Amino acid sequence: MSMYLLPKIVADTLDKQRRTFLWSGNALKKKYHLVRWETICKSKKKGGLGIKNIRKMNVSLLCKWWWKLENEDGLWQSIVKAKYMSNNQLIGSVKHRVDDSPIWSDLLKIRPVYLKGRSTKVRNGKSTLFWEEPWLKSKPLCVLYPVLYDLCTDKGISVHQFILKHAQLYFSRWLPVTLFGPWVSLIDEVYSYPFENEEDKISWKMHKSGVFQQDLFTI
Protein backbone atom coordinates (compact mmCIF):
# COMPACT_ATOMS: atom_id res chain seq x y z
CA MET A 1 0.00 0.00 0.00
CA SER A 2 2.92 2.33 0.57
CA MET A 3 4.47 1.61 -2.85
CA TYR A 4 1.56 1.23 -5.31
CA LEU A 5 -1.72 3.01 -5.91
CA LEU A 6 -4.47 0.49 -5.20
CA PRO A 7 -7.06 0.10 -7.98
CA LYS A 8 -10.42 1.53 -6.96
CA ILE A 9 -12.08 -1.88 -7.15
CA VAL A 10 -9.52 -3.31 -4.71
CA ALA A 11 -9.99 -0.48 -2.21
CA ASP A 12 -13.79 -0.79 -2.50
CA THR A 13 -13.65 -4.57 -1.95
CA LEU A 14 -11.49 -4.18 1.16
CA ASP A 15 -13.82 -1.51 2.55
CA LYS A 16 -16.81 -3.74 1.89
CA GLN A 17 -15.23 -6.55 3.89
CA ARG A 18 -14.39 -4.18 6.74
CA ARG A 19 -17.95 -2.78 6.79
CA THR A 20 -19.38 -6.28 6.91
CA PHE A 21 -17.11 -7.31 9.78
CA LEU A 22 -17.88 -4.13 11.74
CA TRP A 23 -21.64 -4.60 11.66
CA SER A 24 -21.94 -8.41 11.52
CA GLY A 25 -18.76 -9.71 13.14
CA ASN A 26 -18.62 -13.48 12.78
CA ALA A 27 -22.38 -13.79 12.54
CA LEU A 28 -23.71 -15.43 9.39
CA LYS A 29 -26.87 -13.35 9.42
CA LYS A 30 -26.66 -10.11 7.51
CA LYS A 31 -27.19 -6.96 9.60
CA TYR A 32 -28.07 -3.41 8.66
CA HIS A 33 -25.34 -0.78 8.43
CA LEU A 34 -26.64 1.89 10.79
CA VAL A 35 -24.06 4.61 10.05
CA ARG A 36 -22.50 5.74 6.79
CA TRP A 37 -19.01 4.38 6.23
CA GLU A 38 -17.70 7.89 5.50
CA THR A 39 -18.84 8.94 8.99
CA ILE A 40 -17.22 5.93 10.65
CA CYS A 41 -13.90 6.74 8.96
CA LYS A 42 -13.83 10.22 10.49
CA SER A 43 -11.71 10.87 13.58
CA LYS A 44 -13.31 10.52 17.00
CA LYS A 45 -13.14 14.29 17.43
CA LYS A 46 -15.33 14.62 14.35
CA GLY A 47 -17.88 12.02 15.45
CA GLY A 48 -16.42 8.93 13.83
CA LEU A 49 -14.61 5.84 15.08
CA GLY A 50 -11.21 6.73 13.69
CA ILE A 51 -11.13 3.81 11.26
CA LYS A 52 -8.76 4.65 8.42
CA ASN A 53 -10.12 5.15 4.94
CA ILE A 54 -8.05 2.76 2.81
CA ARG A 55 -8.02 4.97 -0.26
CA LYS A 56 -6.93 8.05 1.70
CA MET A 57 -4.31 6.06 3.59
CA ASN A 58 -2.94 4.67 0.32
CA VAL A 59 -2.68 8.16 -1.22
CA SER A 60 -1.15 9.54 1.98
CA LEU A 61 1.58 6.90 2.03
CA LEU A 62 2.46 7.67 -1.57
CA CYS A 63 2.46 11.42 -0.92
CA LYS A 64 5.02 10.81 1.80
CA TRP A 65 7.46 9.64 -0.88
CA TRP A 66 7.12 12.98 -2.65
CA TRP A 67 7.84 14.74 0.65
CA LYS A 68 10.93 12.59 1.21
CA LEU A 69 12.09 13.23 -2.34
CA GLU A 70 11.99 17.00 -1.85
CA ASN A 71 13.12 17.28 1.75
CA GLU A 72 15.53 14.42 2.41
CA ASP A 73 18.75 13.13 0.88
CA GLY A 74 19.56 9.48 0.37
CA LEU A 75 20.30 6.70 -2.10
CA TRP A 76 16.67 6.42 -3.24
CA GLN A 77 16.42 10.16 -3.86
CA SER A 78 19.67 10.16 -5.84
CA ILE A 79 18.52 7.28 -8.06
CA VAL A 80 15.08 8.80 -8.73
CA LYS A 81 16.50 12.24 -9.55
CA ALA A 82 19.12 10.76 -11.88
CA LYS A 83 16.59 8.58 -13.73
CA TYR A 84 13.43 10.69 -13.83
CA MET A 85 14.47 14.27 -13.01
CA SER A 86 17.48 14.89 -15.22
CA ASN A 87 18.63 18.45 -15.91
CA ASN A 88 17.42 19.44 -12.41
CA GLN A 89 13.75 19.14 -13.31
CA LEU A 90 11.30 20.20 -10.62
CA ILE A 91 8.68 17.71 -9.48
CA GLY A 92 5.88 19.78 -10.95
CA SER A 93 7.37 19.66 -14.45
CA VAL A 94 8.21 15.94 -14.69
CA LYS A 95 6.23 14.23 -17.46
CA HIS A 96 5.07 10.64 -17.70
CA ARG A 97 7.17 8.43 -20.00
CA VAL A 98 6.39 5.05 -21.53
CA ASP A 99 9.41 3.50 -19.81
CA ASP A 100 8.43 4.68 -16.32
CA SER A 101 8.40 2.01 -13.63
CA PRO A 102 4.99 1.05 -12.15
CA ILE A 103 5.95 2.67 -8.83
CA TRP A 104 6.95 5.97 -10.44
CA SER A 105 3.81 5.95 -12.61
CA ASP A 106 1.66 5.62 -9.50
CA LEU A 107 3.55 8.45 -7.80
CA LEU A 108 2.86 10.69 -10.79
CA LYS A 109 -0.85 9.88 -10.54
CA ILE A 110 -1.11 11.22 -6.99
CA ARG A 111 1.30 14.12 -7.51
CA PRO A 112 -1.57 16.69 -7.88
CA VAL A 113 -2.80 15.70 -4.41
CA TYR A 114 0.64 16.27 -2.93
CA LEU A 115 1.15 19.59 -4.70
CA LYS A 116 -2.22 20.79 -3.43
CA GLY A 117 -1.08 20.35 0.18
CA ARG A 118 2.45 21.59 -0.40
CA SER A 119 3.49 25.21 0.02
CA THR A 120 6.67 26.91 -1.17
CA LYS A 121 8.26 30.03 0.27
CA VAL A 122 10.36 31.42 -2.56
CA ARG A 123 13.86 32.55 -1.66
CA ASN A 124 16.18 31.91 -4.60
CA GLY A 125 13.41 30.41 -6.74
CA LYS A 126 15.31 27.27 -7.76
CA SER A 127 12.64 24.87 -6.48
CA THR A 128 9.57 26.75 -7.67
CA LEU A 129 7.92 26.80 -11.08
CA PHE A 130 7.39 30.32 -12.38
CA TRP A 131 4.04 29.73 -14.08
CA GLU A 132 2.48 26.73 -12.39
CA GLU A 133 2.94 27.28 -8.65
CA PRO A 134 1.30 29.94 -6.43
CA TRP A 135 4.40 31.82 -5.28
CA LEU A 136 3.87 35.47 -6.25
CA LYS A 137 0.14 35.57 -5.54
CA SER A 138 -2.46 33.28 -4.02
CA LYS A 139 -2.99 31.52 -7.37
CA PRO A 140 -0.49 30.29 -9.98
CA LEU A 141 0.41 32.80 -12.69
CA CYS A 142 -0.85 30.36 -15.34
CA VAL A 143 -4.33 30.79 -13.83
CA LEU A 144 -4.10 34.56 -13.46
CA TYR A 145 -2.57 35.10 -16.91
CA PRO A 146 -3.94 32.21 -19.00
CA VAL A 147 -3.37 33.77 -22.43
CA LEU A 148 0.25 34.69 -21.66
CA TYR A 149 0.80 31.19 -20.33
CA ASP A 150 -0.67 29.55 -23.44
CA LEU A 151 1.54 31.67 -25.72
CA CYS A 152 4.70 31.17 -23.68
CA THR A 153 6.99 28.36 -24.85
CA ASP A 154 8.91 28.37 -21.56
CA LYS A 155 6.11 26.86 -19.49
CA GLY A 156 8.33 24.69 -17.30
CA ILE A 157 10.74 27.45 -16.30
CA SER A 158 11.61 27.99 -12.64
CA VAL A 159 11.54 31.35 -10.88
CA HIS A 160 15.34 31.28 -10.69
CA GLN A 161 15.65 30.64 -14.43
CA PHE A 162 13.28 33.53 -15.09
CA ILE A 163 15.65 35.85 -13.22
CA LEU A 164 18.72 34.44 -15.00
CA LYS A 165 17.04 35.04 -18.36
CA HIS A 166 16.30 38.64 -17.32
CA ALA A 167 12.61 37.98 -18.05
CA GLN A 168 13.41 37.28 -21.70
CA LEU A 169 10.93 34.44 -22.23
CA TYR A 170 9.88 33.13 -25.62
CA PHE A 171 6.33 33.39 -26.91
CA SER A 172 4.79 31.71 -29.92
CA ARG A 173 3.90 35.10 -31.43
CA TRP A 174 4.33 38.82 -30.82
CA LEU A 175 2.37 40.14 -27.88
CA PRO A 176 -0.25 42.75 -28.76
CA VAL A 177 -0.63 45.85 -26.63
CA THR A 178 -3.44 44.26 -24.63
CA LEU A 179 -1.03 41.50 -23.51
CA PHE A 180 2.27 43.36 -23.51
CA GLY A 181 1.06 45.80 -20.86
CA PRO A 182 0.08 43.08 -18.34
CA TRP A 183 3.32 41.24 -19.13
CA VAL A 184 5.46 44.30 -18.31
CA SER A 185 3.46 44.86 -15.12
CA LEU A 186 4.02 41.24 -14.13
CA ILE A 187 7.76 41.57 -14.73
CA ASP A 188 7.89 44.66 -12.52
CA GLU A 189 6.02 42.81 -9.78
CA VAL A 190 8.42 39.85 -9.98
CA TYR A 191 11.49 42.08 -9.70
CA SER A 192 10.02 43.80 -6.67
CA TYR A 193 9.81 40.42 -4.85
CA PRO A 194 12.24 40.13 -1.88
CA PHE A 195 14.44 37.26 -3.13
CA GLU A 196 17.09 35.78 -0.87
CA ASN A 197 20.30 33.83 -1.45
CA GLU A 198 18.91 30.69 0.21
CA GLU A 199 17.05 27.57 -0.88
CA ASP A 200 13.27 27.75 -1.21
CA LYS A 201 11.44 26.56 1.88
CA ILE A 202 8.96 23.73 1.27
CA SER A 203 6.27 23.18 3.89
CA TRP A 204 3.03 21.24 4.39
CA LYS A 205 -0.01 23.51 4.57
CA MET A 206 -2.18 21.00 6.43
CA HIS A 207 -0.18 21.16 9.67
CA LYS A 208 1.00 24.16 11.67
CA SER A 209 4.50 22.66 12.00
CA GLY A 210 4.89 22.76 8.23
CA VAL A 211 6.03 19.13 8.22
CA PHE A 212 4.17 16.38 6.34
CA GLN A 213 1.85 14.53 8.74
CA GLN A 214 0.45 11.31 7.38
CA ASP A 215 -2.18 10.85 10.11
CA LEU A 216 -3.67 14.31 9.65
CA PHE A 217 -3.78 13.75 5.92
CA THR A 218 -6.00 10.68 6.26
CA ILE A 219 -8.65 11.95 8.70
Q: For residues 93 and 204, give the distance between their C-alpha atoms in angstroms, rounded to a whole number.
A: 19
122 and 81 Cβ atoms separated by less than 8 Å: no
pLDDT of amino acid 141: 96
Helix count (H) and strand count (E) of the chain? 10, 2
pLDDT in tens, the chain (219 residues): 788 999 989 988 888 888 877 777 666 666 676 788 788 888 888 888 888 888 888 999 999 999 999 988 899 999 998 998 887 778 888 889 898 999 999 999 999 999 888 888 999 999 999 999 999 998 999 999 999 999 999 998 999 999 999 999 999 999 999 999 999 999 999 999 999 999 999 998 877 788 888 765 555
* 2 Cβ neighbours under 8 A, 6+ residues apart: 61, 62, 64
* 130 Cβ neighbours under 8 A, 6+ residues apart: 141, 157, 158, 159, 161, 162
Sign of the CA dihedral 100, 104, 106, 112?
Answer: negative
pLDDT of amino acid 208: 79
pTM: 0.80
pLDDT of amino acid 92: 87
Length of the chain: 219
Q: Where are the alpha helices (DSSP H) in the chain?
A: 8-24, 37-40, 54-71, 75-84, 102-117, 141-144, 146-151, 159-164, 177-191, 214-218
